[in-house]
Structure 1
Amino acid sequence: MLDLGRTFLQSVERAPGAIALVDGDLRLTYADWALRIGAAQQGLAALGLHRGDHLLSILQNRSEAATLHWACQFAGIVMTPLNWRAKPEEIDHVLKDSGARVLVYEAVSEAAVAASAIAAVTLRVGVGTGDRRYEHLLAGAAEPVPQGQAEDWSLMLYTSGTTGAPKGVPRRQRAERIAALAHVAQNRYGYGERTLGVMPLYHTMGVRSLLALALLDGRFVCMPRFDAAAALRAIAAERISHLYLVPTLYHDLLAHADFAGTDVGSVRKLGFAGAPMHDALLLRLRAAFRPELFVNHYGSSEIYTVAINQDAVGKPGSAGRAGINTRLRVVALDGKSVERRAAPMEEGQIIAELLSDEAFEGYHQRPDANAKSLREGWYFTGDTGYVDADGDLFVTGRVDDMIISGGENISPVDIESVLSLHPAVDEVAVAGLADERWGQKVVAFVKTRSPVEPAALDAHCRSSDLVNFKRPRDYVFVREIPKSPVGKVLRRKLVAGDYEPIGEQEHDAD
């Protein structure tokens, strides 16, 4: 089986003159980029890194981050990327957990790196900053040499750590390559595709785009951090052919004043993952882009594509069927047995078989996490969902997000989809707050685009097919819905009161 270094060389040999990477004014062909990757590979060796060692990268989506990712694949070094917003204690944890011998950072992450006790005794390389500079140690031109093998570890992603210390998810080169091939097939990508490289390279979606484009002699247009106006300019200027984003970023693109005047006609395919997309946004995106393909991906760092729905608008909310490399089931919520399957329309926990070619093999040095999530050859995702009468999967939330009100199990997603269709609602998130009588009560947190009264939202829910016990009992108007850096709604912050409410007078004046 081909390793990832040789996979990259396929595109260099097929299309050496094709533009591979764009980062501001920098434009590199595959032949040019290969020489930069080779120089970085040599630089990593000069720093003392060997096959199997970890490199910690704390970078935004810039050319150096993408180049380092590929250099690690050629060298057999384990790319270990971390959110550039990471705090010093997170850097300490990942350095200790991974044993990374070199840390590469930039100005935006410099303060956190400087405050990290373990980083202080780690070899550090700064991009445009610091005493040891990337430009002096890892830049230049040299032919890359494939030294990694398909069985080598490719990278180790860290989970978000919402319920404790982040867990390392190591993945082999063969699994990464197979996942990228599946991504190409499931999105019907063709040669020469062009994508907006805005999903971070410490996240599954960013890595998937980076690898998939290299399989197709495609163009990866770097975007260090999301800015709707800059994204729209890049879409028009680079003739972006597909977008693969979280719903939040699609929302922000449509909401920007420049969208109406931007030529987005080159975008033929849309894909989303990372969070559910509510019905209203699906419909707005279909009207705005008129895509030939609109794909809902459901997966995780552990198993990239659990399910895929290539007609996201045709069946809103559905994650579709198992991906090319996956088997899935919905089992009882208690998760005690892989054989206790939920009936059609019965909510349960989603599990995926670990024999998947693109699955991970267990968490890094976390036997406790393995014991909780890996059982009887299946990965327990911690996500809730159900399979409808047609056999299509619907993801309804997290086991931890389940609202239990008056003895009823209530998932937030269905309620959010109904409320999203109200014309005054811009964004909405639903959570369960403590209630003396009901145990928990359903509360909707709403960001509006125009004034609306709670009674009007309640009437909207009553007129829908939402069952009565799922109706929100309270509505809270907020300035923003709290989200993670990759756009996932942070319900725990809503439950904890960590949001900025809007008073009635201010809301009425909007």
Structure 2
Amino acid sequence: MHLTDLFESTVNRSSNQYAIFQGDKCYTFSEINEKANRAASSMQRLGVGKQDRIMVLLKNRVENIVLFWAAQKIGAIYVPINLRMSLEYIQYCINDVEAKMIIFEEASRYLLKPDHLKHKPIIVSLQGIADLSYEELVKNNSLSFNIPRKNADDLSTILYTSGTTGKPKGVPRSHKNEYASTMAHIVQNRYVVQDSTLGAVPLYHTMGLRSLLSMAILDGECHTMLDFDPVEASEIISKQRISCLYLLPTMYHDLIYRSKIENLDVSSVRVLTFAGAPMSKEIIEKCNEIFKPQEFINHYGSTEIYTFTTSNNVKNKPWSAGKPGIHQNIRLVAINKQGKSNPSDVVNDGEVGEIIVNINSAEAFKGYWNRPDVTNHAINGGWYYTGDLGKLDEKGDLTVVGRVDEMILSNSENIHPQEIETFLSNHPLVKEAAVIGEKDERFGQIVVAFIVPEKNNVTVQDLDQYCKESSSLSNDTRPRKYIFISEIPLNRAGKVDRLGLVQGRYAEVE
């Protein structure tokens, strides 16, 4: 289960096969391995030891991938950072993880403030002034280094969450976690040997790592992108005959509406997978029309536990997150906004409950880095509390209906925004919908629906009548106010920015 053993097996099998593509350059498994060995030798000579943290402030580039493998080879911990986090958050992460080495590029130079650090890491730059350069690391004449004793429970990576609800949280993930998650990803997505994928999701995200590692195990190709550009991405997919896409819904949206992908040959794409947020029925239909995939899969999970559930029935049940992954066990428990419910307090089928996931899975972390308080809040009795709300249908398929902290309380009734959003989105004249709660003296809160119309002739009366005729919406659940807007604001994770809606960050349409 140690990642270096898996990678070296691939190098031995397919040394001269191309592994990484970046722009007009390509690198074989042997070339990546040699650069990683030289970097590993240099790092060890500089004093980087087993379980020391190597922080990476880089985009999705070949240097980033070389450093990932170099860290694994000497038993160090790879810590990639989201370059879009604030300077304050990044300084917090550097100090929190006590990075032994930090590697940056010109685009991330401004994020590194050595005077603000509590310790003195080794600073490595791809360009410019630092303690040493990346080229010095990989041009080292020595390929030898001491291989530490391997243990599958040693940490491989620490991934930091975005910090949207407070300081970023470090999520330590072991070699066993990364191996199990990647093998589950391969099986659940029906990948095959020598597949190829688009490395568009950054490596600081678990989706980005899964794209890299799955191709490394399968002797496949990973076509990396420094920044996601839909036009460039569509051209890579067509020209390089990409077989598998694993992207955020926003990326699929941009591929469809901000490129000319409909005019390109994308018949090579066999598997489409999305994660990170729900995908609208319109995007699903357009993806089916353009790509005609053999497999269309919804992956529902988190950084802490890679897989919760997966659905390979997106075409017929686009709202469904499916059934537990191959390593997983989930439950839906009674909602308690003041604290954690008991893991045994399971709701009945068809009832809404908080989704909890067993942490005995090989994919699951054991707790947050330096944050026992947050760990105790998230884990109870061997179960990870996701904060998501869901319900199971008669076939045992999960539907995610919202967040515990987004639940609307109107006239003493618990209302789940995503459930109403799904219903409204099924109206033929509605392109997208988002729902929030607004304070109300009489009811406590009322439901407010933000509508992106498919055509401008949809009216409040049309939608209100549509809701009244539904047997699934009560009077309290039915929206009391409709606001027509040009597009739904999204946060950095590609999810509905409900706070933005509350604060008026949207453009109304006539």
Q: TM-score range by the shorter chain?
A: over 0.9
1:384 CA drift (Å):
0.7
1:244 is paired with a residue whose SS is strand
Pair 282,48 (structure 1): closer, same or farther in 2 beyond 3 Å: same
Q: TM-score, normalised by structure 1?
A: 0.93
Question: Which residues in structure 2 correspond to 1:378-417 (within 5 Å)?
Answer: 378-417=383-422
Pair 391,30 (structure 1): closer, same or farther in 2 beyond 3 Å: same
Pair 15,363 (structure 1): closer, same or farther in 2 beyond 3 Å: same
Amino acid at match of 1:489: V
4+ aligned runs moved over 6 Å, structure 1: none
Q: TM-score, normalised by structure 2?
A: 0.93
Pair 423,129 (structure 1): closer, same or farther in 2 beyond 3 Å: farther
1:420 CA drift (Å):
2.9
Report the Cα distance in structure 2 between the residues aligned to 1:261 and 1:174, rounded to whole angstroms.
Answer: 43
Contact map agreement 1:91 1:116 (CA 8 A) in 2? no
Report the Cα distance in structure 2 between the residues aligned to 1:144 and 1:380, rounded to whole angstroms.
Answer: 44
1:376 CA drift (Å):
0.9
Matched, 1:483 2:485: no
| Partner residue in 1 for 2:90 | 91
Pair 236,462 (structure 1): closer, same or farther in 2 beyond 3 Å: farther
Matched, 1:420 2:437: no
Report the Cα distance in structure 2 between the residues aligned to 1:77 and 1:71, rounded to whole angstroms.
Answer: 8
Contact map agreement 1:3 1:177 (CA 8 A) in 2? yes
2:315 is paired with a residue whose SS is coil
Matched, 1:65 2:72: no
Question: Which residues in structure 2 correspond to 1:34-433 (within 5 Å)?
Answer: 34-114=33-113, 117-118=116-117, 121-132=120-131, 134-140=133-139, 143=143, 147=148, 148-334=150-336, 335-422=340-427, 425-433=430-438
2:445 is paired with a residue whose SS is strand
Report the Cα distance in structure 1 between the residues aligned to 2:466 and 2:138, rounded to whole angstroms.
Answer: 59
When structure 1 is superposed on structure 2, of 9-18 and 456-465 the one drifting more is 456-465
Contact map agreement 2:196 2:242 (CA 8 A) in 1? yes
Pair 417,281 (structure 1): closer, same or farther in 2 beyond 3 Å: farther
Amino acid at match of 2:506: E
Report the Cα distance in structure 1 between the residues aligned to 2:486 and 2:226, rounded to whole angstroms.
Answer: 26
Matched, 1:3 2:2: yes
Root-mean-square deviation (CA, aligned residues, Å) is 2.2
1:271 CA drift (Å):
0.6
1:318 is paired with a residue whose SS is coil
1:470 CA drift (Å):
2.9
Contact map agreement 1:321 1:392 (CA 8 A) in 2? yes
| Partner residue in 1 for 2:26 | 27
> 500, 503, 506: which one pairs with 2:506?
500
Pair 486,262 (structure 1): closer, same or farther in 2 beyond 3 Å: farther
2:231 is paired with a residue whose SS is helix
1:467 is paired with a residue whose SS is coil
Q: Identity of paired residues, percent?
A: 40
When structure 1 is superposed on structure 2, of 401-410 and 13-22 the one drifting more is 401-410
When structure 1 is superposed on structure 2, of 84-93 and 179-188 the one drifting more is 84-93
Report the Cα distance in structure 1 between the residues aligned to 2:265 and 2:368, rounded to whole angstroms.
Answer: 44
1:76 CA drift (Å):
1.0
Amino acid at match of 2:349: P
Report the Cα distance in structure 1 between the residues aligned to 2:477 and 2:7, rounded to whole angstroms.
Answer: 50
1:96 CA drift (Å):
1.6
When structure 1 is superposed on structure 2, of 297-306 and 59-68 the one drifting more is 59-68
Report the Cα distance in structure 2 between the residues aligned to 1:406 and 1:260, rounded to whole angstroms.
Answer: 48
Report the Cα distance in structure 2 between the residues aligned to 1:225 and 1:418, rounded to whole angstroms.
Answer: 34
Pair 29,459 (structure 1): closer, same or farther in 2 beyond 3 Å: farther
1:386 is paired with a residue whose SS is strand
Report the Cα distance in structure 2 between the residues aligned to 1:462 and 1:11, rounded to whole angstroms.
Answer: 59
Pair 428,139 (structure 1): closer, same or farther in 2 beyond 3 Å: farther
1:500 CA drift (Å):
3.2
Report the Cα distance in structure 2 between the residues aligned to 1:137 and 1:263, rounded to whole angstroms.
Answer: 42
Pair 465,189 (structure 1): closer, same or farther in 2 beyond 3 Å: farther
Contact map agreement 2:95 2:118 (CA 8 A) in 1? no
What are the superposed Cα offsets for residues 119-162 of structure 1, whole Å, 9 maximum, x if unpaired?
89543222223334543332237657654532210011112222
1:470 is paired with a residue whose SS is coil
Contact map agreement 1:280 1:421 (CA 8 A) in 2? no
2:277 is paired with a residue whose SS is coil
2:68 is paired with a residue whose SS is helix
Contact map agreement 1:404 1:410 (CA 8 A) in 2? yes
Where do 5+ consecutive residues of structure 1 fail to align? none
1:485 is paired with a residue whose SS is coil
Amino acid at match of 2:86: K
